[in-house]
Copies of this chain bind each other. A is one copy, B any other.
Amino acid sequence: MSLKGLITILSPAIEAELQRQITRLDKPRTRPFYEILTYHMGWTGEGAGSEAQGKRIRPLLVLITCSACNADWKDALPAAAAVELIHNFSLVHDDIQDNSSQRRGRDTVWVKWGKPQGINAGDSLFVLSNQAILDLALTYPSEVVIKAARILHDTCLDLTCGQYLDMSYEQRTDLTTEDYWPMIGGKTAALLAACSALGSLLSEVDEVAQNAYRDFGYYLGLAFQVQDDFLGIWGDSVLTGKSAESDLVSGKKSLPVMFGLGKKGPFYRRLTEGPVHPEEVTGLAEELAAEGARLYTQESADRMTDLALQSLHRANPQGEAGEALFELANKLLNRES
């Protein structure tokens, strides 16, 4: 079965499990609170539907990994829900912290319900994730449940550290690529690492394989982010006509930007002078490339991609789900398989 076929089977099960978890809040007095969450999850309200739900990459990664380890993915559904709930908790708080008014083409939670309720809605998604992971106790031995919970919580600490670093970099220009990796390792890679780690933990593969799966998720996250950072400056849509969407305008401290800052050349000097205007984007992207950032970013993406695929080979995934994992990796990294 192809990745697409697998996704067709897994997606409804993921949505059903997420709904089951969030239903804990569906009581008469807290129904409007519950509806904040069903809106955010993309199930209700204006613009509801698959676009608003996002790709659910993380729960898919949990379940396909589990399946590639010859275990029944159905048993791992609470873990799949848990990582997606963590992801969404971080999105709700992120949007407040960044003052972002749009998410997946719709108004963000805080725009509709205010920041105080937005903070609380994010907190509740976090709680629901903690409750979801304990539901593994229905199927797995208690020792395994505790290991799974520990993976989840350790990952969340990495997330808050990554978030701290990201926010602390906002006003800084004294940064280099060395500051990039721990930030993005926490903010992006840690949760993907948790997905593949959890999927393999909930099977009978040994710890060596579990570590290989974890590494796969981690490098996949890094590779995906670095590639996204590349496109944020040199992507076609950014350079042609939609320059206002360039990371140079938003001020995002992406890998190429931090490379350029570390060079302390013309790019660095321009950035210390204040915000970049859309009409400067093409010239500044060229300058950044001339200073070596484009090559460094591309090579970094390639290196992380290689590490991800090497880790996946080491993990030795089985059957059609195993092939689907390679396909998922190649798809996320925009490579032909």
Which of A's residues lie within 8 Å of B, judged by CB? 24-25, 27, 29-30, 32-33, 93, 96-98, 115-117, 119-120, 123-124, 126-128, 130-131, 134, 137, 141-143, 145-146, 149-150, 152-154, 156-157, 159-161, 163-165, 167-168, 182
Contacts and interface: CB of A to CB of B under 8 A. Distances in A.
B131 A142 contact: no
A154 B152 CA distance: 17
Contacts of A117: 164, 167-168
Contacts of A143: 142
Contact of A128 (B130, B157, B167): B157
Given A27-B161, A119-B119, A130-B130, 8 more contacts: A29-B182, A30-B164, A93-B119, A97-B120, A127-B153, A128-B157, A131-B153, A142-B142
A187 to B, nearest CB: 11
A126 B128 contact: no
Q: How many copies does the complex hold?
A: 2
B131 A154 contact: yes
A149 B130 contact: yes
B30 A165 contact: yes
Contacts of A142: 141-143, 145-146
Given A29-B165, A30-B165, A137-B146, A160 B93 contact: no
Nearest to A150: B134
A120 B153 contact: no
A96 B119 contact: yes
A133 B130 CA distance: 12
A199 B51 CA distance: 46
A60 to B, nearest CB: 24
A296 B112 CA distance: 38
A160 B123 contact: yes
A225 to B, nearest CB: 18
Contacts of A124: 157, 160-161, 164
Contact of A130 (B97, B120, B153, B164): B153
A30 B27 CA distance: 40
Given A149-B149, A168-B32, A120 B24 contact: no
Nearest to A99: B116
Given A29-B182, A32-B168, A120 B93 contact: yes
A131 B156 CA distance: 10
Contacts of A150: 131, 134
